[in-house]
Amino acid sequence: MKPRVLITYNIYRDVYKEVLKDFDITMPAEGMETFTYEDVLPVVDSFDAILSMWNFPIDKQLLDAAKRLKIVSNYAVGYDNIDVVYATRCGVAVANTPDPVTEPTADIAMGLMLSLMRRIVDCDNMLRAKKLKWGIMNNLGTSLSGKQLGIIGMGRIGKAVARRALACGMNIAYHNRNRLGATDEKLYGAKYMALDELIATSDVVSLNAPLTSETYHIIDAERLAQMKRDAFLINTARGPLVDEKALIEALKNGTIKGAGLDVFETGDSVCDELLALPNTVLVPHIGTQTVEARREMAEFAATNIVNFFNGGKVAQVNKF
């Protein structure tokens, strides 16, 4: 009997049919966007693998019900939607898609930085609303060149952001669980800093770390107060890295100058208070939303499943 794979979201049927040709695939019918948790829970016991989206909860209840489950392949680099500790205890492998997401996510981090600091979105909005006042000393932004970019989380995406920022003449500081080797520090011209020092000295702070118990609210009211008053915060990682209420206060009070956000504490929505703030650039979690990346992520996530059953290379994040 072919192993049974449950795919929670209706995209790239052609990719899955090709890559998972030796598997029995179940996915939402054409015209239906996604399976919900409630759709999946009653039937999950008949599947050997799940290909899940980053916002689909794979929790204790689901794992307990999934008696045959051997692998969860997450369509994302982040896997905070999965109870990895419990999956490991159940002997279920958890895999992710690190490679395809790196460059597009870094593009959005850089795009947010440029839009915010050079007021691209702001000026565009004012022009369209016929509210822009032209003039040599109006609409002044902030130059990127010569400014310090403090990157929190210097993994693949953090490094890709650093490469782009270097091209704009920025100086790179970073904080990471593990310090980079000397060769990498030299390559990125990156200076390692303790978190407090990085927060206090950076002109831009970019969050590029996964969401874990250690990074939850890593930017809170206290850290925002330590930032320079003319500094900018960029978040393309996960919303809960930032205490959003504290950020809104900081943006209102001029504690920091602006924020560029791709992710929100409220998940797939943005609170009205953020929408009302002029010193923000907000996008709807589009870090990996390119035609190319979406397809590559589908191929990568499906290949993780094929390789898991065939003994090939899997981007597995838990070890037994």
**Minimum distance between the CB of residue 117 and ligand GLV, rounded to whole angstroms?**
23
Using CB under 6 A as the binding rule, the residues of this chain from 57 to 116 that contact ligand GLV are 76-78, 101
**Minimum distance between the CB of residue 287 and ligand GLV, rounded to whole angstroms?**
6
Picking from 41, 2, 1, 34, the residue whose alpha carbon sits closest to that of residue 20 is: 2
DSSP character string of 73-117: EEESS--TTB-HHHHHHTT-EEE--HHHHHHHHHHHHHHHHHHHH
The separation between CA 313 and the C-alpha centre of its own chain, rounded to angstroms, equals: 24
Distance CA 96, CA 82 (A): 11
**Minimum distance between the CB of residue 154 and ligand GLV, rounded to whole angstroms?**
17
Nearer to ligand GLV, 52 or 148 (CB): 52
Nearer to ligand GLV, 157 or 224 (CB): 157
Nearer to ligand GLV, 109 or 251 (CB): 109
Nearer to ligand GLV, 56 or 148 (CB): 56
**Minimum distance between the CB of residue 288 and ligand GLV, rounded to whole angstroms?**
5
Residue pair 181/154 in contact by the 8 Å Cβ criterion? no
Picking from 239, 233, 293, the residue whose alpha carbon sits closest to that of residue 262 is: 239
Nearer to ligand GLV, 138 or 212 (CB): 212
**Minimum distance between the CB of residue 175 and ligand GLV, rounded to whole angstroms?**
20
Residue pair 149/165 in contact by the 8 Å Cβ criterion? yes
Using CB under 6 A as the binding rule, the residues of this chain from 281 to 310 that contact ligand GLV are 287-288
**Minimum distance between the CB of residue 53 and ligand GLV, rounded to whole angstroms?**
9
16, 23, 35, 54: which one contacts ligand GLV (CB under 6 A)? 54
Give the relative orientation of helices 98-117 and 120-128 as an angle to the nearest 10 degrees. 60
Nearer to ligand GLV, 52 or 280 (CB): 52
Residue pair 170/144 in contact by the 8 Å Cβ criterion? yes
Residues that bind ligand GLV (CB under 6 A): 54, 76-78, 101, 287-288
